Amino acid sequence: MTWDEMFPMLLESTGQTAEMVLWSTLFTVLLGLPLGVALVATDRGGLFPSAVLNRVLGLVVNLGRSLPFIILMIAVIPFTRLIVGTTIGTIAAVVPLTLGAAPFFARLVETALREVGRDKVQAAQAMGAGRATIVGKVLLPEAMPGLIAGLTVTVVALISYSAMAGAIGGGGLGDLAIRYGYQRFETTLMIVTVVVLVAVVQLVQSLGDTVARRLARD
Amino acid sequence: MIDVSGLRKVYQDRGREVVAVDGVDLHVREGEIYGVLGQSGAGKSTLLRCVNLLERPTSGTVSVAGQELTSLAERDLRKARQRIGMIHQHFALLSSRTVAGNVAFPLEVMGTAKAERARRTAELLELVGLADKAGAYPAQLSGGQKQRVGIARALAGSPPVLLSDEATSALDPGTTQSILALLKSLNRELGLTILLITHEMHVVKSICDSVAVMRDGLVEESGTIPELISRPGSRLAAELFPLPEPEPGNVTITFTGQAGEPVVSQVVRKFDVDVNILGGALEEVAGVSTGRLRLLVTGDERAAALSYLAERGLLVEEAR
Ligand SMILES: Nc1ncnc2c1ncn2[C@@H]1O[C@H](COP(=O)(O)OP(=O)(O)O)[C@@H](O)[C@H]1O
Ligand SMILES: [Mg+2]
């Protein structure tokens, strides 16, 4: 296979991977961030303590995290069909990707929020701040470097998951590597694909590190 | 200004009951600096946190500036807290905000308009001497500067009352003195009532008008400092002026404010006694020169000499 043949394929696959990862990152944040906040808030001594809710949320998150992604992917097929209308294509892959990454991200959010000193929360309470203000103006801004670091890890995980999702019809770089590189012995294409993946992961990681470092003020 | 009565706080700690505050009454008058002194674990922080209801008392009532806080609903309590400033041992500043941003935070909570926030923030930073640090982040400040930001933040809503939880315990002695001086001047100039807790006697000595000594969740003694010092058997007095264990027959005299008078030489001149000074300590307490002397008084007119001292307003204690 010549470079001229490979290039359009690589471009298309990279686009598909980007599409899968960006959409699933968006939904992972929309789902995982509130979940992480809820895990911290419902805990003993939290802003909204509720032992029952805390246990239920913890269980849901652990279930999502302990399921191997490949199994989750297949298990949610009926659900995917229900909300996307199809189980094939990059958009359909966003559903299992989000469900796989959101619990993972929620735990990282939880960890980052717990790093915020209790005394800061209490100082805000002493000023008469309500719960929403404390979450929005104390917990989240103070945890921002940790949240960005968690998001970076999550995006990297999503890139790797997206390669798997590609194998069941999502397309993308992983799909390309498997179909041409592995099944048709196009070793060069496989190597190039892997190099692109590594480069993308590096890029994401260093971008995340830079942003987290710039936000950290202590 | 602050009235605490019958306050009890019992924690449930892994099935065990921990009585942190065991029935405390506290009356802080308007415009005074009231210190609660006690060792670690005495229940001071719990008591203070019950005053603005960061902890809900197990029983008892708390009122601040005439408003009973213990009976307020959540929403009204939040409003009331905006009228009670608080400063913390480890400053509790938001590291993601600048100095100005930290001071403006309580104003945001109160819903103050942006222009007014900026004006008030500048004014507060001026007040605590940090006008040039408005754009700095807390990590770039020294401990003393951080506590100044904490004080500016606590005063943002012009509260009549300030609560201080070991505000100088994380600071070195020199910085401690400058923060205490700032608190004293805020007390004088703004008429700010301050309730502070500390485990350090010198904080009490430096700025407090009244003090409560706390141990095991209970107030052991309380009152104005001159009252306490001239109260027989006061543990506070003994701690303020450590003297060696008295021998039987030794006399300890305590004076507050009469230090200028040469009482000892007067006694020797007026009565047929010999006076030997065994030990003594003199301190400036709450702006009043105060001291204790351990004396050995011998001679025929010993009894008359001692009653003369007592008549002059000195506390005279005889060891048996
Ligand atoms: N949240 C809590 N849960 C259980 N016990 C507590 C809690 N807070 C304080 N205590 C206990 O209450 C007692 C008084 O603590 P504290 O008020 O912090 O004392 P101080 O400030 O004088 O050092 C201690 O025995 C402490 O262990
Ligand atoms: Mg304490």
- How far apart (Å, rounded) are the C-alpha atoms in residues B203 and B311? 32
Q: pLDDT tens for residues A149-194?
A: 999 999 999 999 998 887 777 788 888 888 887 788 888 888 888 8
Both tokens of residue A217? 């003020």
Other Cβ atoms closer than 10 A to A57 = 21
Q: Which of A153-157, B43-47, B260-264 has the lowest mean pLDDT?
A: B260-264
pLDDT at B311: 87
B149-174 burial, b for 16+ CB within 10 Å, e for fewer? bbbbbbbbbebbbbbbbbbbebbeee
The rounded percent of chain B whose pLDDT value lies above 70 is 98
Evaluate if residue B128 carries a pLDDT over 60: yes
Q: Which residues of B touch A218 (CB under 8 A)?
A: 95, 137-139
pLDDT at B38: 94
The ligand 1 atom nearest the CA atom of B19: 12
Domain hosting A115: range is: 3-215
Q: Specify the residue with its C-alpha closest to ligand 1, atom 16.
A: B43
Residues of chain A with pLDDT under 50: none
* Domains observed in chain B: 2-228 (3.40.50.300), 241-318 (3.30.70.260)
**Nearest 10 degrees: Cα torsion A68, A71, A77, A78:** -100
Q: Which residues of B touch A124 (CB under 8 A)?
A: 105, 109
In eight-state DSSP terms, residue A62 is H
Confirm if A18 and A162 have CB atoms less than 8 A apart.
no
Confirm if A149 and A112 have CB atoms less than 8 A apart.
yes
Tell which residue, B31, B75, B24, has the closest CA to residue B46.
Answer: B24
pLDDT at B259: 56
Interchain CB distance below 8 Å, B95 and A127: no
Q: pLDDT tens for residues B277-316?
A: 888 887 777 667 778 888 888 888 888 888 888 888 888 8
Chain-centroid distance, C-alpha A14: 18
Q: Specify the residue with its C-alpha closest to ligand 1, atom 10.
A: B20
Cβ within 8 Å of A, B 76-135: 77-82, 84, 86, 88, 90, 92-97, 105-106, 108-110
Tell which residue, B196, B201, B190, has the closest CA to residue B147.
Answer: B196
Interchain CB distance below 8 Å, B106 and A127: yes
The CATH number of residue A173's host domain is 1.10.3720.10
CA angle B264, B270, B273 (to 5 degrees): 70
Helix (H) or strand (E) holding B26: strand B16-28
Comparing CB atoms, the residue among A122, A128, A138 nearest residue B82 is: A128
Count of domains observed in chain A: 1
